[in-house]
DNA sequence: TTTTATTTTTAGACTGGCCTAAACTTAAGA
DNA sequence: TCTTAAGTTTAGGCCAGTCTAAAAATAAAA
């Protein structure tokens, strides 16, 4: 199945809008107009959410959805929303695997900054051949997560469900470990690295007053004050919790 | 200047067709408006050659040529042919630099076979950012030639003129060094490597009988018989000749 | 239950890049 | 010089992907 860049991006975006956590991870990058389009997890993706996510007009999304439906890559209920078929999800996971492998490669092998790799990967993900994918995977020793902590789907389309908590939901006194950050906004990423909020960092929440718009943190040895906007891009695990590292066989269990 | 993949491929192909001398319509001195401007000396590239090189129909080439002419990237004399302007040549050399850097990177860093890298680079050349280009260049220590012996244009658009001789033009008794091979045909490349005809290889022509369709060679320690088809993809220098390694400042000397 | 607001789809148009068929220009041959 | 062959451009169309404006469907409010 050889799809256009646009079609692949639609499939990927549908997948991400349905995925737990990632939808929320992407929130800080979305404008106000997109708020409120956050469908319940597992519900079909609305045309509007898809259009917002891809920065296109709603009729463009409708048109592509109909095209993908005719290819049996999505199921479309008019006026209700769209869901991936197993075949569509398989392709979405392939594109996401490409994206995250490329990000990791650019960061680890070429030494690019972690705020730059996302935009590059957005282009590379569509032209990566299976051969190059395999070479990159081997060169990196089959990494499981990209530089932002996002799990990399396996070659056969399985992906770890992380289930981390939003940092914003943590309360005063909580000791947490940063697990994942949104890779969408380079400026936010640069700021997060500056204050030490990178995957693996351990920190304590000193004060969490939502109405103040800031979070007071003890990151490693430093006291930090972080606004809610960057904090919204951070996912954590609560120290002591067992990390949920089970592989979901999403594609396989739905494959016909 | 942000151009489509198609436009970049047209510019690159025009450059290569001029470089390799494949052109048709003779340019008997036309003393008109195209004389003293950015139009360069030499025969223009014909619509047909361009269409053949890009595997498109002639009217498609005409259409794109008109578009590029309106962007001042080529000079088009209807029914006569097309030549690059300095601005067009600069872009062509950028694309070629991307292509050859990527080929080198894929071969040296990822360990891909030299018969695979060309097709990959054909895609990558259009999406390489300046940042990634710089990182690749640095990782390879600013290579001057790609795995097939083709010179890599510099960042500022200069390229070494190699001036190697076709192996087919060598005569019996000639001792030569392989300098460059065509990277177009993977099967030919695999064959060339098998018989040792790779850049740097030294060999002696034992018998060159054009009518026989084969060349008898002594490649390093091995006696080899090579057909004219693969031999056509090989360029050599004659041992003892001084290699012409001067950098042509093509783009710079014509820049307005 | 009826009206209104919101979301989605349809209609129609545009651009880029490609195509075939036909007309045109140039070069070559008689 | 006239005719023909070859090469190039124009004419007209198709497809992918996008857009805006208008119509239709659904959800919310009255
Ligand atoms: Mn993309
Ligand atoms: Mn990432
Ligand atoms: Mn190309
Ligand atoms: Mn090459």
The reply to whether the CB atom of residue A30 sits less than 7 A from any atom in nucleic acid chain C is: no
Subunit contact B110:A132, Cβ cutoff 8 A: yes
Average pLDDT over residues B56-71: 98
Reported confidence tier of residue B43, pLDDT bands at 50, 70, 90: confident
pLDDT at B216 over 70: yes
Mean pLDDT of chain A: 87
pLDDT of residue A242: 56
pLDDT at B80 over 80: yes
- Assigned domain for A179 exists: yes
Partnered with residue A151 across adjacent β-strands are: A145
pLDDT at A243 over 70: no
- Assigned domain for A210 exists: yes
Q: Does A4 contact B at CB distance below 8 Å? A: no
Q: How many Å apart are A74 CA and D28 C1'?
A: 29
Residue A206 and residue A216 in contact, taking contact as beta carbons nearer than 8 Å: yes
Containing domain of residue B229, as a range? 165-238
- Assigned domain for A226 exists: yes
CA nearest neighbour of B37 among B254, B210, B234: B254
Residue A107 and residue A121 in contact, taking contact as beta carbons nearer than 8 Å: no
Nucleotides of D under 7 A from a protein CB: 7-12, 16-22, 25-27
CA nearest neighbour of B20 among B125, B119, B163: B163
pLDDT of residue A251: 39
Mean pLDDT of chain B: 86
| Contacts made by residues A46-49, CB under 8 angstroms, sequence distance 24+ | A46/A81, A47/A81, A47/A82, A49/A17
pTM, rounded to two decimals? 0.88
pLDDT at B144 over 90: yes
Average pLDDT over residues A36-53: 79
pLDDT at A247 over 60: no
How many CB atoms neighbour CB B37 within 10 A?
Answer: 10
Subunit contact B106:A132, Cβ cutoff 8 A: yes
Angle, CA of A55, A56 and A61, to the nearest 5°: 125
pLDDT at B110 over 90: yes
How far, in Å, is the centroid of ligand 2 from the Cα of B82? 44
Give the residue with greater pLDDT, A246 vs B253: A246
- Assigned domain for A186 exists: yes
Total domain count for chain A?
A: 1
The DSSP string of A188-231 is HHHHHHHTT-STT-EEEEEEEEGGGTEEEEEETTEEEEEEHHHH
Subunit contact A132:B112, Cβ cutoff 8 A: yes
Residue B24 Cα distances to B6, B15, B17, B43, B92, angstroms: 23, 15, 10, 8, 21
Which region holds residue A219: left if phi is over 0, alpha if psi is between -120 and 50, else beta? beta
- Assigned domain for A172 exists: yes
Partnered with residue A97 across adjacent β-strands are: none
Residue B105 and residue B136 in contact, taking contact as beta carbons nearer than 8 Å: yes
Enumerate residues with CB within 5 Å of ligand 4 (an ion): B 103, 146, 148, 150, 183
- Assigned domain for B192 exists: yes
pLDDT of residue A241: 60
- Assigned domain for A184 exists: yes
Point out the nucleotide closest to B62 (alpha carbon to C1′).
D9
pLDDT at B56 over 50: yes
* Six-digit token string for B39: 């139009």
How far, in Å, is the centroid of ligand 2 from the Cα of B186? 34
How far, in Å, is the centroid of ligand 4 from the Cα of A103? 26
Calpha distance A239→A205 (Å, rounded): 12
The DSSP string of chain B is ----HHHHHHHHHHHHHHHTT---S------STTSSSSPPSSPPBPHHHHHHHHT--HHHHHHHHHHHHHTTSEEEETTTEEEE-HHHHHHHHHHHHHHHHHHHHHHHTS---TTTHHHHHHHHTTT--HHHHHHHHHHTTS-SB-TTSPBPPPTTS-EE---PEEGGG--TT-EEEEEEE--S-HHHHHHHHHTT--TT-EEEEEEEEGGGTEEEEEETTEEEEEEHHHHTTEEEEETTSPP--PEE-HHHHH--
Q: What CATH number is associated with residue B203?
A: 2.30.30.90
- Assigned domain for B227 exists: yes
| Chain A residue numbers touching B132 (CB-CB < 8 A) | 106, 110, 112, 120
Calpha distance B254→B248 (Å, rounded): 11
CA nearest neighbour of A231 among A200, A197, A187: A197
Burial A120-145 (b: 16+ CB within 10 A, else e): bbbbbbbbbeeebbebbbebeeebeb
Q: Does B112 contact A at CB distance below 8 Å? A: yes
How far, in Å, is the centroid of ligand 3 from the Cα of B126? 7
Point out the nucleotide closest to B48 (alpha carbon to C1′).
D7
Residue A209 Cα distances to A67, A228, B16, angstroms: 47, 10, 64
Q: How many Å apart are A94 CA and D16 C1'?
A: 23
| Chain B residue numbers touching A4 (CB-CB < 8 A) | none
Average pLDDT over residues B250-256: 37
Angle, CA of B95, A110 and B185, to the nearest 5°: 40
pLDDT at B90 over 90: yes
Burial B10-24 (b: 16+ CB within 10 A, else e): bbbbbbebbeeeebe
A180-222 pLDDT, tens digit each: 999 989 999 999 999 999 999 999 999 988 788 899 999 988 8
């Amino acid at each position: 199945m050889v799809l256009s860049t646009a079609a692949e991006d639609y499939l990927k975006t549908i997948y991400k809008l349905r995925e737990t956590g990632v939808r929320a991870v992407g929130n800080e990058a979305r404008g106000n107009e997109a708020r409120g389009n956050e469908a319940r997890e597992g519900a079909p993706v609305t045309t509007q959410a898809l259009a917002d996510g891809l920065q296109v007009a709603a009729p463009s999304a409708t048109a592509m959805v109909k095209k993908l439906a005719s290819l049996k890559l999505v199921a479309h209920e008019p006026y209700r929303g769209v869901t991936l078929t197993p075949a569509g999800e398989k392709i979405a996971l392939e594109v996401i695997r490409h994206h995250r492998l490329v990000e990791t490669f650019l960061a680890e092998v070429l030494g690019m900054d972690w705020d730059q790799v996302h935009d590059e990967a957005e282009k590379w993900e569509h032209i990566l051949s299976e051969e190059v994918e395999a070479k990159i995977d081997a060169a990196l020793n089959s990494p499981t997560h990209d530089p932002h902590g996002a799990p990399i789907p396996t070659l056969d389309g399985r992906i770890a469900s992380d289930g981390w908590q939003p940092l914003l939901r943590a309360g005063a006194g909580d000791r947490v470990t940063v697990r994942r950050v949104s890779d969408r906004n380079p400026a936010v990423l640069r700021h997060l690295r500056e204050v030490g909020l990178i995957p693996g960092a351990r920190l304590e929440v000193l004060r969490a007053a939502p109405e103040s718009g800031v979070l007071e943190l003890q990151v490693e040895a430093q006291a930090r004050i972080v606004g809610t906007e960057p904090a919204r891009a951070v996912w954590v695990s609560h120290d002591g919790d067992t990390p949920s590292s089970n592989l979901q066989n999403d594609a396989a269990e739905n494959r016909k």
